[in-house]
Structure 1
Amino acid sequence: MRLEAVTRAYGDVTALREVTWSFPRGGLTAVMGPSGSGKSTFLHCASGLDRPTSGSVRIGEVDLGTLKEARLTRLRRERIGFVFQAFNLIPSMSVEQNVTLPLRLAGRDPDPARVAAILRRVGLAERAGHRPSELSGGQQQRAAIARALITEPEVVFADEPTGALDPRTARDVLRLLREAVDVSGQTVVLVTHDPLAAAWADSAVFLSEGRVVDELTAPTVEQLLRRWETL
């Protein structure tokens, strides 16, 4: 995935300023920055949820800016997975129904063996028939990760996925995202303000005032904290 000179302006406010960046296939990249640095706008433009004012975003050989809305929606459904802080599970559906929703929206019949395997992978095999209200926060986030992975997407965007979780549960969620990279070869982009979460990444990219200002490779918590203090 590559962003080339991406700028996003909302009226008089410019949230991203000519950002050029590539994300390696099969890597976990943390995107960090203070409030107002452009992290959410970066994620929205990179994932096709929003369109840049100028510049281009490519996933593989596809320029997202050339796609009409219906084709862009289909690409997001088939090639991109999303994990959000608020889980975004449908309350009236069971865990299994939530997890298989992207497949059914795409007109694909879920493979029972595949569904069972991914529920086991996230530790929810015994909770498949439960609704979100019957789950803990960590279980809901694991269900959201299973939903993001069920279509075997090329890229998974995780927006503050541990922000509402206690440290132990957050570690379990981050381990699942790490496994998506190490075991399945997927690309994960983790937007976070938490150095403990970013330390799971292969690299950390820092945004400030809508620009990429630094990158740390194989970052440690101490390195991340020191760099954060200078933003």
Structure 2
Amino acid sequence: MFSSQFPTTDVERSLSPARYIIGIDEVGRGAIAGPVAVGAFVLDLQTLDESKVPAKLQDSKLMTERNREAVFSELSTWQPGYAVGFIEAEQIDLNGIVWCLAQAAVKALEQLNENPTIRQAIADGQVHLLLDGTHNWLDSVVSRIPVTVRAKADRDCVAVAAAACLAKVTRDRHMVHLAESYPEYLLEGHKGYASAAHIEAVRRLGPSEVHRVSWLTKILSGE
């Protein structure tokens, strides 16, 4: 799929006086197998050069796998830091997806907090979180950092598009790795989403340890 829509830093710059904008987005929320992932990408507005934004960066859902991989390489060294947090299927079954999104975000933010520059910026009130969507699922775990929630931020905002791309590539690689242990489910292709081949495999074999069993009721009943 191709779109002419490319993200900008207009929204990020409107969040001044914060110097660091951390874009946050989830990947894998709707899958029936594998973890949910939350990406967090740090954008330094003070040193930002818009001409260095990866040219092929878009909403990760609109990018080809090849372009996501290429952009991943650029993003991973472009700005001060990024992190991806995972929460596995067992916890999704036990605690629900919203709780798991928040905990995956905590994991990502804790990784970023290991960077002394980011840790000091948070202490100094120089960090603002930019979250994709219409619901602030960070409110239960983030209190010291302001959060702006914006629909379509993964399409419109560089920091969030970057977070989504990094999370997508990281999770996809994880699913390819899981496929080595569960080859019958073809995880390397659908990455845990409910494709026809995946549904057929679940009905034939039953769920594996990496499936979200509570999400499979209709599939297993033949609906």
Note whether the superposition's TM-score is higher than 0.5: no
Please identify which structure carries the higher helix content. Answer: 2
Given the two structures, how large is their TM-score scaled by the length of structure 2? 0.31
